[in-house]
Amino acid sequence: MSMASHALLLVAIILLSSPVVLATCACHDIAKLLPGRVFLPDSSEYKTSISSYFFLNSRQSPKCIVAPTIADEVAKIVKKLSVREKKQVAIRSGGHTPNPGFANTDSGITLDLRGLNKITLQGPSADVVSVGTGTLWRDIYATLDPVNRTVVGARVASVGVGGFLTGGGLSFFSPKYGFGCDNVVNMEVVLANGTIVSANATSHPDLFRALKGGQGNFGIVTRFDLITHSQSEYWGGAIQYAASADAAQLSAFESFKAASYDGSAEIEQTFVYFGALKTFSSTNNMFYMKPVANASALKMFADIQPQTTNTMRISNTSAFAEEIEMFQPKDQFATYATLSFRMGPGILPKIYKQWKDATTSLSAKVPNVTSVLTFQDIPPPPAANAPGNSFPFAPDSTPHKDDVLVLFSFYWPHKQEYELVESTIKGLTGSAQKLVGDRVKFKYLNYAAAWQDPIGSYGDEMNKMLVRVAKSYDPSGFFQKVVTGGFKLSM
Ligand SMILES: Cc1cc2nc3c(=O)[nH]c(=O)nc-3n(C[C@H](O)[C@H](O)[C@H](O)COP(=O)(O)OP(=O)(O)OC[C@H]3O[C@@H](n4cnc5c(N)ncnc54)[C@H](O)[C@@H]3O)c2cc1C
Q: To the nearest whole number, what is the mean pLDDT of the chain?
A: 94
How far is the centre of ligand 1, averaged over its atoms, from the C-alpha of 324 (Å)? 16
Read off the pLDDT band of 6 (50, 70, 90).
Answer: low
Read off the pLDDT band of 488 (50, 70, 90).
Answer: very high
How far is the centre of ligand 1, averaged over its atoms, from the C-alpha of 251 (Å)? 32
pLDDT digits (tens, 9 = 90+) for 163-180: 999 999 999 999 999 999
Confidence at residue 338, expressed as pLDDT on a 0 to 100 scale: 98
- DSSP labels for 215-241? GGGS-EEEEEEEE-EE---EEEEEEEE
pLDDT digits (tens, 9 = 90+) for 355-389: 999 999 999 999 999 999 999 999 999 999 999 99
Q: Which of 396, 339, 405, 338 is nearest to 378 (CA)?
A: 405
Average pLDDT over residues 128-134: 98
Could you give phi then psi for residue 120, rounded to 5 degrees?
-130, 125
Is the shortest distance between the CB of 155 and ligand 1 below 6 Å? yes
Read off the pLDDT band of 84 (50, 70, 90).
Answer: low
Is the shortest distance between the CB of 399 and ligand 1 below 6 Å? no
DSSP state of 390: S
Ligand 1 atom 13 nearest Cα = 154
* Ligand 1 atom having least distance to the Cα of 93: 30
Q: Which of 450, 452, 453, 448 is nearest to 489 (CA)?
A: 453
How far is the centre of ligand 1, averaged over its atoms, from the C-alpha of 31 (Å)? 27
Confidence at residue 8, expressed as pLDDT on a 0 to 100 scale: 43
31 pLDDT higher than 60: yes
- Among positive and negative, which fits the CA dihedral 157, 161, 166, 171? positive
CB 420 within 8 A of CB 403: no
How far is the centre of ligand 1, averaged over its atoms, from the C-alpha of 162 (Å)? 6
Confidence at residue 1, expressed as pLDDT on a 0 to 100 scale: 44
Q: Among 50, 58, 59, 96, name the best residue to mutate to test ligand 1's pocket (greatest count of ligand atoms within 8 A of Cβ).
A: 96
Confidence at residue 491, expressed as pLDDT on a 0 to 100 scale: 85
* Ligand 1 atom having least distance to the Cα of 179: 11
Is the shortest distance between the CB of 190 and ligand 1 below 6 Å? no
CB 45 within 8 A of CB 31: no
CB 84 within 8 A of CB 26: yes
Ligand 1 atom 21 nearest Cα = 163
13 pLDDT higher than 50: no
Average pLDDT over residues 142-155: 97
442 pLDDT higher than 60: yes
Cα–Cα distance measured from residue 90 to residue 195, given in angstroms and rounded to the nearest whole number: 19
Q: What is the Rg, in whole angstroms, of the alpha carbon atoms belonging to the chain?
A: 23
Pair type for strands 234-242 and 307-310: antiparallel
pLDDT digits (tens, 9 = 90+) for 266-319: 999 999 999 999 999 999 999 999 999 999 999 999 999 999 999 999 999 999
Read off the pLDDT band of 25 (50, 70, 90).
Answer: confident
Q: How many CB atoms lie within 10 A of CB 25?
A: 13
Read off the pLDDT band of 430 (50, 70, 90).
Answer: very high
* Ligand 1 atom having least distance to the Cα of 169: 11
Confidence at residue 21, expressed as pLDDT on a 0 to 100 scale: 56
Q: Among 53, 407, 446, name the best residue to mutate to test ligand 1's pocket (greatest count of ligand atoms within 8 A of Cβ).
A: 446
User: Which one is predicted more confidently, 88 or 135?
Assistant: 135
Is the shortest distance between the CB of 169 and ligand 1 below 6 Å? yes
CB 213 within 8 A of CB 114: no
Is the shortest distance between the CB of 407 and ligand 1 below 6 Å? no
pLDDT digits (tens, 9 = 90+) for 90-130: 999 999 999 999 999 998 999 999 999 999 999 888 999 99
Confidence at residue 10, expressed as pLDDT on a 0 to 100 scale: 42
Cα–Cα distance measured from residue 439 to residue 417, given in angstroms and rounded to the nearest whole number: 34
How far is the centre of ligand 1, averaged over its atoms, from the C-alpha of 206 (Å)? 22
Cα–Cα distance measured from residue 300 to residue 217, given in angstroms and rounded to the nearest whole number: 42
481 pLDDT higher than 80: yes
pLDDT digits (tens, 9 = 90+) for 227-267: 999 999 999 999 999 999 999 999 999 999 999 999 999 99
Evaluate if pTM is beyond 0.85.
Answer: yes
Confidence at residue 252, expressed as pLDDT on a 0 to 100 scale: 98
Confidence at residue 124, expressed as pLDDT on a 0 to 100 scale: 85
Read off the pLDDT band of 396 (50, 70, 90).
Answer: very high
Is the shortest distance between the CB of 215 and ligand 1 below 6 Å? yes
